[in-house]
Amino acid sequence: MVLIDGKKVSAEIRSRLMKETAELKSKTGRAPGLATVLVGEDPASAVYVRNKNKICNEIGFQSFGQNLPAETTEAQLLDIIKELNENDKVNGILVQLPLPDHIDSEKILLSIDPKKDVDGFHPINVGKLAIGNALLTPCTPTGIIVLLDYYGIEIAGKHAVVMGRSNIVGKPVAHLLLQRHATVTICHSRTTNLEQVTRQADILIAAVGRPHFVSSDMVKEGAVVIDVGINRVDGKLTGDVDFDPVAEKAGFITPVPGGVGPMTIALLMENTLKAFKASL
């Protein structure tokens, strides 16, 4: 069994981005800029956003953080996004999800300039991803593909089974795998005989949001198991995969933490640099 080290791969990506940013800065006199928008005080979201801004600065990007109170209205948020859309120093805009219930997330995502949509959540970019010509693709799904490539795992012709159908992970990763010529099956909470389906997977992506949901009975011998879960159990970060027994069967497996998680931020930075380069 090979343990997939997302921490190492993400550190390599970040150091490559840092180098490229320094070169671009000396050539253009400009640095890529990322604006993060956090509404409310959800502690997990606050940690994510803080981290994003910190890594942004480490790489040499400009970071524009907006921490807004939970009472922020939809109209106020739309105004802020309009300003960020018009600000030439801002190449990427990330609105941390979930938003408070009184704000319509779909309306907010639709208001972001697709060229600055570094999350890849705008319907234009979702459509481009489905067609297969998107520049900005969702960070966590793209990070998964980068990990598979880094470890030399063949995707073309393999049966990839995606557990979960969210707009953030399940659906976009299915598209990316399909683009790379995998045979893709998407399973979800209404799938019957789930175990029969997941046992066929050469590559199994677990994105269900339930701790230890994937047992070793659900996994084929030698499969590549990618755990996208971030569940908090007694204060401890736990994936969707019952790690120890599944690791005994898997050919490759990602740990939680230290697997897919660190890749998300690295790919967010990669998308910001891409958006910056496209704006030059």
Candidate list 66, 96, 227, 240, residue with the active-site label: 96
Q: Residue of minimal CB distance from ligand GUN?
A: 97
Angle (nearest 5°) at CA 99 between 73 and 235: 135
Only one of the segments 24-32, 93-101, 144-152, 206-214 lies at the binding site for ligand GUN (rule: CB under 6 A); that segment is 93-101
Candidate list 52, 116, 158, 171, residue with the active-site label: 52
Active site residue 107: no
Number of residues near ligand GUN (by CB under 6 A): 9
Active site residue 116: no
Asked if residue 147 lies in contact with residue 9, where contact means CB atoms within 8 angstroms, the answer is yes
d(CA 181, CA 264): 23
d(CA 27, CA 211): 48
Q: How far is CA 54 from CA 22, 49, 58, 270, in A?
A: 17, 9, 6, 15
Of the candidate residues 38, 84, 94, 145, the single one contacting ligand GUN (CB under 6 A): 94
d(CA 183, CA 166): 19
* Binding track over 142-161 against ligand GUN, x by CB under 6 A: --------------------
Of the candidate residues 168, 225, 263, 275, the single one contacting ligand GUN (CB under 6 A): 168
* Binding track over 53-92 against ligand GUN, x by CB under 6 A: ----------------------------------------
CB of 140 to ligand GUN, least distance (A): 6
Of the pair 97, 135, the CB lying nearest ligand GUN is at: 97
* Binding track over 111-130 against ligand GUN, x by CB under 6 A: --------x-----------
Burial of 57 (0-12, 13-18, 19+ CB in 10 A): exposed
* 96 makes contact with ligand GUN (CB under 6 A): yes
Q: How far is CA 210 from CA 138, 206, 260, in A?
A: 21, 9, 16
* 95 makes contact with ligand GUN (CB under 6 A): yes
Active site residue 119: yes
Q: Which residues pair with 241 in a beta bridge?
A: 214
CB of 4 to ligand GUN, least distance (A): 19
Q: Compute the half-sphere exposure of residue 49: CA atoms within 13 Å on the CB side of its CA.
A: 23
Q: Which residues sit at the interface with ligand GUN, rule CB under 6 A?
A: 94-97, 119, 139-140, 168, 264
Residues with a catalytic annotation lie at 52, 96, 119
